[in-house]
Amino acid sequence: MSGPDLVAPDLAGTPREPMTADQIRNYLGQRANHPYASKLLGFQLADFSIEERWLEADFHPTQQLANLRNSVQGGIVTAMLDEVMSLAVLVSERFMCGVPTLEIKTSFFAPLPVEPCRARGVATKIGGRVAFMEGTIWTPSGEIAARSSATCQVRRVKAAG
């Protein structure tokens, strides 16, 4: 299980079976080594629940992601939240879809230091063509740094033939 077909399987046109929890854990456990934005953000899977539709990840931002105030730049914080929210939908659907973000709103509450932090994404509703998501990211001391809400398109794997 590797390659771009896991990012947007419908675009690759290769129908497959839904991933098991172990397969998902293995794939996401290796994601920090992939040449995707996840690597830039310092993504590391913490935990997830298929049934409860959430995913938590630790991020390890580097100084290259800092703003002039020496905290993580707001667009990067939003990217971290987009990552956990989108992955919450993918996990809930067992990677049988692609989930490009259509709209995202982020509210900032505290600066996010350039240190390891935790974020949680939740798929609040998954419909036939769109899903709604929420995300929270915390500072290393446990203070809420930002919250996001987003909508994504749900591109399901198409049946063979």
pLDDT digits (tens, 9 = 90+) for 86-107: 999 999 999 999 999 999 999 9
Residue 10 pLDDT more than 50? no
Report the CATH number at residue 149: 3.10.129.10
Is residue 24 assigned to a domain? yes
Q: Is residue 65 part of a domain?
A: yes
In a domain? residue 27:
yes
Rounded mean pLDDT of 67-87?
97
**Number of structural domains the chain divides into:** 1
Is 110 part of a structural domain of the chain? Answer: yes
Higher per-residue pLDDT: 30 or 161: 30
pLDDT higher than 80, residue 79: yes
* Domain range for 145: 4-156
Lowest mean pLDDT among 2-11, 22-31, 140-149: 2-11
User: Does any domain span residue 161?
Assistant: no
13-19 long-range contacts (CB < 8 A, ≥24 apart) are: 13/158, 14/157, 15/157, 15/158, 15/159, 15/160, 16/96, 16/157, 18/93, 18/94, 18/95, 18/96, 19/94, 19/95, 19/96
